[in-house]
Amino acid sequence: MKLIAGNWKMFKGPGAAAEFCLGLREEELEGVDVVVTPPFVSLAVAVQLLAGTEIAVAAQNVHWDEEGAYTGEISPAMLLELGVYGAIVGHSERRQYFGENDETAGKRAQGALAAGMFVIGCVGETEEERERGETESVLRRQVSAFEADDNLVLAYEPVWAIGTGKTATPEIAQDAHALIKSVLDVPVLYGGSVKPDNAAVLLSQPDVDGALVGGASLELESFTAICRAAANIPS
Ligand code: PGA
């Protein structure tokens, strides 16, 4: 079964999150695993409104420690107390704007996994790295920061494809996913301008196990269209 995760980024406060979740719970989404990742302040309402459905709620980041003097951070224990069982770590926007690196992404993943959460660990090369022919070495380095675990999924998100409309070709995605799996044998989602009209072809690649969707996850119609495309791929 494919996994479709909606990364809301810094969109949808509690009111808008409630509206979205009320709509989402009315949808028939069979044959696909669905995750939404609201901002921290909207997690509680998402957990409440999606309770009793198969849709999982995850955070967009998580600290590695149980508690401590880490201003602005949220621990795995705090998320679990809220009913949030998963988190994204190492997203390229965290790396680009907030000093996240392989070491901290790996620590976040280990802390969350040790606490019993599921983790979506993000990797992906920048445009310059791809042009310099460094894609393989960058991916090997980033992937090596994570340790295999039954509750770990990686997301290949080429930075040049995020929010740009420049989706990776199915071949680029497939090559990168195969490489990632040769380093760490875990499911790999593709992320970067996934839309209803390109989801099926990307998700049909043998090593593309799902998608991490940003912009198109914010509207119910486009998000559920991508979920349905995923459900229709024969496994
Ligand atoms: P996008 O974002 O779908 O808007 O390109 C993907 C992501 O950053 O996870």
pLDDT one-digit tens code per residue, 108-118: 999 999 999 99
DSSP conformational letter for 53: S
C-alpha 67 – ligand 1 centre gap (Å)? 30
In terms of pTM, does the model score above 0.85?
Answer: yes
Q: What is the pLDDT of residue 152?
A: 98
88 CA closest ligand 1 atom index = 9
What own/partner pairs with CB < 8 Å and gap ≥ 24 does 20-27 have?
20/218, 20/220, 21/45, 21/46, 21/49, 21/50, 22/49, 23/220, 24/50, 24/53, 24/55, 24/220, 24/223, 24/224, 25/49, 25/50, 25/53, 25/55, 27/220, 27/224, 27/227
Q: Answer yes or no: is pLDDT of 71 > 80.
A: yes
7 CA closest ligand 1 atom index = 9
For residues 198-217, average pLDDT: 98
* C-alpha closest to that of 180 among 212, 156, 213: 156
Q: What is the pLDDT of residue 235?
A: 73
Three-state DSSP class for residue 181 = helix
> Which amino acid makes up residue 227?
C
Q: Answer yes or no: is pLDDT of 41 > 80.
A: yes
Q: Answer yes or no: is pLDDT of 201 > 80.
A: yes
193 CA closest ligand 1 atom index = 5
Q: Which of the listed residues 213, 218, 222, 223 should we mutate to test ligand 1's pocket, taking the one with most ligand atoms within 8 A of CB?
A: 213
* C-alpha closest to that of 188 among 213, 157, 155: 155
What is the residue-averaged pLDDT of the chain?
Answer: 97
Tokens for 113, please give them: 């996994």
C-alpha 204 – ligand 1 centre gap (Å)? 19
Which is higher by pLDDT, 167 or 25? 25
pLDDT one-digit tens code per residue, 135-194: 999 999 999 999 999 999 999 999 999 999 888 999 999 999 999 999 999 999 999 999
Q: How confident is the model at residue 234 (pLDDT cuts 50, 70, 90)?
A: confident
Q: What's the sign of the alpha-carbon dihedral 137, 181, 206, 156?
A: negative
Asked if 173 contacts 137 with a C-beta cutoff of 8 angstroms, the reply is no
Q: Cα–Cα distance between 203 and 174 in angstroms, integer?
A: 10
C-alpha 197 – ligand 1 centre gap (Å)? 15
C-alpha 92 – ligand 1 centre gap (Å)? 10
213 CA closest ligand 1 atom index = 3
Give residue ranges with CB within 6 A of ligand 1. 7, 157, 162-163, 191-194, 212-216
> Which amino acid makes up residue 128?
E
Q: Which of the listed residues 153, 159, 193 should we mutate to test ligand 1's pocket, taking the one with most ligand atoms within 8 A of CB?
A: 193
C-alpha 116 – ligand 1 centre gap (Å)? 26
Q: What is the pLDDT of residue 136?
A: 97
